[in-house]
Structure 1
Amino acid sequence: MSATLMVIAIDIGTSYSSGFFSFKHDPTEIESVKEFPYEKVPSIVLFDKRKEFQSIGYEAVDHYKQLSDEEKRYWYYFKDFHKLSNEHKPTELEITESNGKRLETYTVYGSIIKYFTDAMFTKLRNADLISSNSDIYVVLIIPPVFARSHKSMLQKAFSYAGFNKNYSFVNESKAILSYWEHMWSDEQTLPKNVDLNNEIGFLLVNLKGSTALVSANSTKDGIQRRLAYVAGGGWGGQAVHEELKQFIIKIVGAPVFLRYIESYKGSTFDFKKYVANIFNRFGKGSEIKFRLPLCDLYETEFNESLKTAVKDSLFSNEVTVAGEFLCIKPKVFNGFFKNTLEAIVSNIKDILSDKSTTKIKVIVMVGYFSRIQLVQDTVKSAFPDCRVLVPSEPEFTLVKGATLTGHIGKIPSAHPKARSIVPQNTICAVVQHINDEREFPEFVKEIKKVLIEKGSHIQEGDKQEYNFTMDDICDMEHIDIFIFASPKAETCESASLNNDDVKIIRKERMNFNGAHTMNIKIYVTIYGIRWNISDDGGRVAIGFEKIE
């Protein structure tokens, strides 16, 4: 690390990926690897029939469009392969491309890493600024929740890209802390008296394209901990894109819209980016104008002008046509956001209702969808007691913060780093209902779940939550909950309470007084540095809660 001249940070997203860099002598002067306006490229990777990398992003889209149907059967076209999860799910060794063929997962991720690092290396070598890859240090943003298998896959991906060292991983909350410490003062519109390290905690709301996530983070005593987390699709910017697309299709018809998409350079992704730019300029009460060359296509299809068709349609009070512009009334346009905004607010409320997060009063919004004024206003209105902070370029805040971590090393540098824990046991929970009210006890139902995966990467202070539903049980007087550790088992199915190597950490009985259905929440807070079978359970705090 000390010998490197520059740092590149890479953010691989479900829809788009980006890379930013800065030099050792001026780490806060951060620039995009790709030139404006293509700082972000679609997360699409194309391999030829020999499984050799061909192209990425818009180039991959255009190249794939030129292939014949017969050629497409043998080429590998990957999109929407990067997923976020609320659980420590193992990463598959292979992933499936659009036509069902499979390729090693690390090869696809490694190709994106190599794409950004090669682009940077070529540019700087031609300018005689660097001489080899050893001059470059790479930081990759990782999701808050990931299994050990995911990290192993990414290590193979770096090796594929030509990096056996000189790289590291950083999660999103650490990236935002680094950005706050070293670049917050450059933000002209944000308050300067906010100290994320001295707050009880803060909520990081990352609103991307296809996915979104909310994480509650504590920085008490200078140690960063994740308290709660939720992620998923359906409430990012892509959901609003889809609402708009379906509205346009209702007006012009699917055949016209699809022909427009096929003829438009860069295919659907240029349309998505154009729409995203419109969203960014969208203000409260303003009419939205889309410049879409659909008029000629519509007239060819239906032998009628689009302007006349709209005027005589059910949409006459909602939409007008002026030349090549489709003008949409504010009330209609606001409606495209309704379901997504409700989901965002609902997920934030769920996180803030947790016992560990009720005192959090700072919300930091990042991701390109956070740029939209309507989104910001909605969050501020829903949480008036919180300070809602949005950086000037929210879509690039995390990747810029990640760039700084490659120079700084510790996040934040003035405080000790949270200790990393690698459990040496799989920690499981078993919830059982055994009807022992009769002469001979009867086993009725059992639910098993992995709480902590053996070998997974977690931080001290992390909090995990799991919900169990016991239903279809008559006269359920009580249930028994067992938390146990196994040094051999990888899953609950491969572990049994009767195995010699299993150690029961805790046993709890809950009385339900004849209920037929009951929801139970089990939460685990990590305090220890490691887990061995000899531990007595004091290094992990486990709580139980009935959800009425």
Structure 2
Amino acid sequence: VYEITNRLSKAPNEYANASNYEATSVSTNSDHGLYERLAVGGHYEEIRNLRIRQDLFVVALDIGTSSSGYAISSYDSYKRDPLQISTFSWKSRTDGFQHFKTLSAVLLNPSGELHSIGYDAEYHYINSLQEEERQQWFYFQNFKMMLYNHQISRDLILHDVKGKPQKALKIFAFIIQGLREDFTTRLAEQITLGEGAVDEDIHWVITVPAIWDEKAKQFMREAARQAGILNDRLSIALEPEAAALYCRFLPVEKLKGSSQDEEISQLKTFSPGAQYLIVDLGGGTVDITAHEILPNGALKEIVAASGGNWGSLVINDEFINLIEDLTETDIMKFIKENHPDDFLTFMSVFENKKRVFSKDDDRVILHVPQSIRDIMCERLGKSVEDHIEEIDRAQEVKFQRDKMYIYNEAFTKLLSGTIEKIVLHVTAVIESNKLKVDSIVLVGGFAECDLLKSTFRTSFPDTRILVPEDPVLAVLKGAVLCGRNPQILQTRVCRYTYGICTTVDFDEKYYTPDKKIHIGGNTLARDIFNIHIKANETVHIGQKGTPKKYYLNRDDQDQLDLEIYASTKTKPKYTTEDGVFYLGILVIKIPQMAAVCNKSRYFSVSFLLDGTEMEVEAVDSATNETTGVKFDFIG
């Protein structure tokens, strides 16, 4: 029995906005029975004061640093069981295994056109292209972190594994396009009657890390638009929130208590008033958020989302450092540039080993491609085995024919540095916010690591450490639930202070002389951070902030451009001070009115958080009507 069953049981007169619809059955080959095409008047129905999105399908796309995939829920299936979410396996022709997700990889032909994504892209690049052909093709992998480490714009450039450039927006659009086309192809194969799903039947959800800012969210939205997804058919889900919602819906028997390696009793997952922490352990980033269960079953965010670039790919860098420490500096860079196929194969093997490594394993065995062994021997001037003996590192590693053996202590060291940083940050979040969490829930691919779970158990002995039975899919399935339940999170804690750059009357008591300017006979202070939302402020979703006035300058003015800034500080004074960063332009279109003097005309601007994205409302003083606004955060 799922925890939300009672809320979703349909009783007479309980659906305020779904009293009449027609359903025509469409046969499928799905394990979940019939899909239904619902002709409904609106996209939402009210179920006990929480909006449920009615679209025929909700499809979530999880674009991860290491892997990507999608999941789907039909409306009828959701009403029967919210956790009836379909995911799809992906076969890697490189290792021969089925995977929950495909690689976050994109392959372009020499003309810069999309050839393939995921495991197909990897296989074609490694096995079908000759080395001289690879110089002309473009292969991108693990590129998501570029949106975390760089200034985002439409012109941001990514470099492929051989250093060749392409626009980042194009690459992200291509992987979204590839996932979208794969989904529509599989759906068409399942539906045997009728014309199948159309754009109006599908609501799409794309996941992003909670620590990304508004620029990155708009970037992903623009990439989705270029991939053929309509803007009004798309919502953005924050990864740890999606995972939290998935775990919130799970009965406890689906959560493993890693402290005892056994299933917890048949109690419901969390009761009203309970607080829990979600740690999303992705490939690129680690995201942390904390929620409290409200009496109506909805969620309240109690701490602003935080995290950092401590994802499991950092451990890959540690592995590369180990290889180069044992052999020669930059040897892996040389291998990557000259033998990218073997480099990718070698790193793929390590990627799988680090997830399944147990603290009780004596050693980890990796297959070493022949080209890598040959390069090592050539650079060292001797066999790798002899070299390891000479430098007295045989107690850590051993090379024998096509195998590399890494012993327990050395492999543990590769992982422990990153794990310790994660634990330290979680500890800081709990202590600095005086949280009394009942549970810490670990999700993401790295949550499968036994060493990580045991470290959390030791570090937080009085807190339940829980892991869903499919942690790698928690974000993906949770994103589907976010799409169906746009109101499930009712309050959010802001990560940043948001405001608009403006000028005010100069007062020497408050403003420094360098901010003094003279305009039209007036003495003003420039670069003032006019605060609309404060960092660490609890905001109700959909609730407008206090409006603030922004005046026009000229009678012929046809638009008002306002610069939006953000800061980690709660009370920034100037937009030029440390800790403040520029987000983008807010453009307000001004309806022209012959009888109105623009110099006395202003717009009352209010900020609000609608779900995971910021929105702005502008009310024209001349008409008292809301006018159109447009963000441009990515240039």
TM-score (norm 1): 0.69
SS in 2 for 1:390: strand
SS in 2 for 1:11: strand
SS in 2 for 1:326: strand
**Is the contact between residue 43 and residue 80 of structure 1 (CA under 8 Å) also seen in structure 2?**
yes
Which residues of 2 match residues 59-458 of structure 1 at below 5 A? 59-61=120-122, 66=129, 78-83=140-145, 91-98=152-159, 99=163, 101=165, 103=167, 105=169, 107-129=170-192, 131-134=195-198, 135-148=201-214, 150-164=216-230, 166-185=233-252, 187=254, 189-190=256-257, 191=264, 192-193=266-267, 195-196=269-270, 198-221=272-295, 222-225=298-301, 227-233=303-309, 235-253=310-328, 266-293=341-368, 297=374, 298=376, 304-355=382-433, 357-406=434-483, 408-410=484-486, 412=488, 417-418=490-491, 426=499
**Is the contact between residue 438 and residue 463 of structure 2 (CA under 8 Å) also seen in structure 1?**
yes
Q: Which amino acid aligns with 1:176?
A: A
Q: Which amino acid aligns with 1:237?
A: S
**CA distance 1:255–1:200, change in 2 (3 Å):** closer
* Cα deviations by residue, 1:480-539 (Å, 9 ceiling, x for unpaired): 97599xxxxx959999xxx99899x9xxxxxxxxxxxxxxxxxxxx9x9988799xxxxx
Alignment match, 1:19: 70
Q: Does residue 54 in structure 1 map to residue 105 in structure 2?
A: no
1-structure distance, mates of 2:59, 2:408: 41
1-structure distance, mates of 2:74, 2:455: 38
SS in 1 for 2:472: coil
2-structure distance, mates of 1:277, 1:306: 24
Q: Which amino acid aligns with 1:206?
A: D
Q: Which amino acid aligns with 2:301?
A: R
Q: How many residues were matched structurally?
A: 476
Alignment match, 2:48: none
**CA distance 1:493–1:402, change in 2 (3 Å):** closer
Which residues of 2 match residues 475-486 of structure 1 at below 5 A? 482=573
* Cα deviations by residue, 1:102-149 (Å, 9 ceiling, x for unpaired): 5372x4333222211211222232343574442544322233255555
**Is the contact between residue 426 and residue 450 of structure 1 (CA under 8 Å) also seen in structure 2?**
yes
Q: Which amino acid aligns with 2:320?
A: K
Q: Does residue 466 in structure 1 map to residue 541 in structure 2?
A: no
Q: Which amino acid aligns with 1:103?
A: K
* Cα deviations by residue, 1:242-282 (Å, 9 ceiling, x for unpaired): 21222123334468756776797855444333223212222
Q: CA deviation at 1:210?
A: 2.3
2-structure distance, mates of 1:419, 1:2: 33
2-structure distance, mates of 1:435, 1:204: 48
**Is the contact between residue 209 and residue 287 of structure 2 (CA under 8 Å) also seen in structure 1?**
no
**Is the contact between residue 81 and residue 95 of structure 1 (CA under 8 Å) also seen in structure 2?**
no
1-structure distance, mates of 2:146, 2:461: 29
Q: Which amino acid aligns with 2:540?
A: E
2-structure distance, mates of 1:248, 1:326: 10
1-structure distance, mates of 2:603, 2:278: 38
Q: Which amino acid aligns with 1:95?
A: L
**CA distance 1:447–1:51, change in 2 (3 Å):** same
**CA distance 1:132–1:364, change in 2 (3 Å):** same
**CA distance 1:238–1:247, change in 2 (3 Å):** same
2-structure distance, mates of 1:309, 1:147: 48
2-structure distance, mates of 1:176, 1:344: 18
**CA distance 1:167–1:85, change in 2 (3 Å):** closer
SS in 1 for 2:153: coil
Q: Which amino acid aligns with 1:139?
A: V
Q: Name stretches of at least 5 consecutive residues in structure 1 with no aligned partner.
A: 469-479, 485-489, 506-525, 535-548
1-structure distance, mates of 2:363, 2:220: 42
**CA distance 1:264–1:100, change in 2 (3 Å):** closer
Q: Which moved more, 1:370-379 or 1:194-203?
A: 194-203
Q: CA RMSD in A?
A: 5.0
SS in 2 for 1:396: helix
SS in 1 for 2:568: strand
* Cα deviations by residue, 1:279-312 (Å, 9 ceiling, x for unpaired): 2222224222223235762556656443344334
**Is the contact between residue 86 and residue 231 of structure 1 (CA under 8 Å) also seen in structure 2?**
no
Q: CA deviation at 1:417?
A: 4.2
Q: Which moved more, 1:203-212 or 1:256-265?
A: 256-265
**Is the contact between residue 137 and residue 166 of structure 1 (CA under 8 Å) also seen in structure 2?**
yes
Q: Name stretches of at least 5 consecutive residues in structure 2 with no aligned partner.
A: 1-36, 40-54, 79-83, 92-96, 258-263, 516-525, 544-565, 576-580, 587-598, 607-611, 621-635
2-structure distance, mates of 1:376, 1:139: 30
Q: Which moved more, 1:311-320 or 1:155-164?
A: 155-164
**Is the contact between residue 86 and residue 230 of structure 1 (CA under 8 Å) also seen in structure 2?**
no
**Is the contact between residue 205 and residue 213 of structure 1 (CA under 8 Å) also seen in structure 2?**
yes
Q: CA deviation at 1:11?
A: 0.8
Identity percentage over the alignment?
20
2-structure distance, mates of 1:211, 1:110: 21
**Is the contact between residue 33 and residue 119 of structure 1 (CA under 8 Å) also seen in structure 2?**
no
SS in 2 for 1:163: coil
Q: Does residue 9 in structure 1 map to residue 9 in structure 2?
A: no
SS in 1 for 2:72: strand
* Cα deviations by residue, 1:220-258 (Å, 9 ceiling, x for unpaired): 44343252222322x221122221222123334468756
**Is the contact between residue 306 and residue 321 of structure 1 (CA under 8 Å) also seen in structure 2?**
yes
